[in-house]
Amino acid sequence: MTTLKFFPVKIASYEAITALGDTAGGSFSAFMAGESGLKYEESSPYPLAKSAFTSGKDRAYEMALKVAKEALKPLPESELNKTALLLSTAKGEALLLEEAITNGVADKDIFPSELTAKLQKALKLNPLTYTVSNACASGLITLAQGMRLIQDGDFDHVLVVGADLASDFVVSGFGALHALSADFTRPYDKERCGLNLGEGAAAILLTASDNLPAQGFLSGFGISNDANHITGPSRTGDGLAMAMEKALKMAELTPEKIDLLNGHGTGTRYNDGMELLAVNTVFPQKCPPLISLKGYIGHTLGAAGVIETALLLEALRLKQYPASKGFSSGELPPQVNIPKEPVYNAKLDRILAMKAGFGGINAALVIESAKVR
């Protein structure tokens, strides 16, 4: 019988593009300054957080390629063929999909796996690739898959990339679900009334090598599915709570060891309510501060888990974290604290991130500072 091996996996490098900047550092600095990338666009009645990095129809590929090249810089060229590529995305090249619908001609480039293939070829990585498209939990699930490939000894290095676009197709879909807010999103606030969409890309290089520097560690993950509804979240939060508990158990941590919670925090009434129930279950007595990043960069769909993890690594590096933008007041469990101002010189060694998606999928990930180990 094979014994599964679980151990913290080193993060060697990371990079991100959001509506607030073309680097993870630039985006995080904007967070701390209270800036938001959400703006009203002429083509939409809803605020969107679109990247100004490129305007081409294949900009998902262009953004993904840029962050991937940056994340691969510490890796010698001789190691590229020992590196697996994992892509997290909801719709991949969504603009090519829209073009195919308009023209009535389908091309293979519209499939998310084709975006992965294009990246693999351009980056000259190992030909074995993975494409994960599991709704809004995709990013954390892809990072978990990357951890397992390292832990099982299948690869020396794993490059995890997330990329998605706030395309008309995606905006129309969420609009049809009445999930979008015509105002700026307000995660966890009692007046919250919907989400704002965003776009971007991020890349995180995981490694088993002792020769590469450590920018942080992924020490535990948990995945569950409550199968509540095809789009609606659980009313109890039990599935998300289970994912968080699994992540803590794998990391061999008690809840008291977590310094910050990064919630999914979309700004919809049902999602945020479900999250607060889950947090109350896992942290019934003492709870670390809870923040959402959606008020800064919007909901970046299948890329959210990768993008936000890259930005949380900046928080761990700098020992500071932003306010949960859009939150004013809410009906919270008494132990839950949602900061309204940025926090500097924080005790910040471990973050528990969580995401929940359509179909009842839930994921959680423990991210640790490089100085913890």
Q: How far is CA 241 from CA 237, 280, 286, 300, 355, in A?
A: 6, 9, 15, 23, 11
Tell me, what's the pLDDT at 198?
96
Residue 82, in any domain of the structure = yes
Are both 196 and 102 inside the same structural domain? yes
Tell me, what's the pLDDT at 168?
82
- If one counts the domains in the chain, the total is 2
Tell me, what's the pLDDT at 130?
96
Mean pLDDT (the chain) is 93
Tell me, what's the pLDDT at 169?
80
Q: What is the pLDDT of residues 167-179, one digit of tens each?
A: 888 888 888 888 9
One-character DSSP codes across 312-347:
HHHHHHHT-B---TT-------TT----SS-B-S--
Residue 136, in any domain of the structure = yes
Tell me, what's the pLDDT at 2?
57
Tell me, what's the pLDDT at 105?
66
Are both 329 and 346 inside the same structural domain? yes
Tell me, what's the pLDDT at 1?
47
Residue 363 sits in a domain whose CATH number is 3.40.47.10
**Helices and strands, counts by H and E, the chain:** 10, 13
Are both 154 and 102 inside the same structural domain? yes
Provide the residue range defining the domain that includes 72.
9-207
- Provide the pLDDT confidence category of residue 223 given band limits of 50, 70 and 90: very high
Tell me, what's the pLDDT at 142?
98
Tell me, what's the pLDDT at 106?
62
Tell me, what's the pLDDT at 242?
97
Provide, rounded to the nearest whole percent, the portion of the chain with pLDDT above 70. 97
Tell me, what's the pLDDT at 108?
59
Are both 260 and 321 inside the same structural domain? yes
Q: What is the pLDDT of residues 44-61, one digit of tens each?
A: 899 999 998 877 778 899
Q: Give mean pLDDT, residues 234-240.
A: 91
Q: Give mean pLDDT, residues 277-282.
A: 97
Q: What is the pLDDT of residues 71-114, one digit of tens each?
A: 999 999 999 999 999 999 988 777 777 777 777 666 656 788 88
For tokens 């993975």, name the residue. Answer: 130
**Phi then psi dihedrals of residue 120, to 5 deg:** -60, -45
CA–chain centroid gap for 370, Å, is 19
Residue 35, in any domain of the structure = yes
pLDDT exceeds cutoff 50 at 273 = yes
Are both 232 and 351 inside the same structural domain? yes
Last residue of a domain, one of 174, 207, 240: 207
pLDDT exceeds cutoff 50 at 144 = yes
Last residue of a domain, one of 207, 241, 275: 207
Tell me, what's the pLDDT at 357?
87
Q: Give mean pLDDT, residues 233-257.
A: 95
Last residue of a domain, one of 175, 207, 239: 207
Residue 4, in any domain of the structure = no
Task: Supply 318's token pair.
Answer: 């700098």
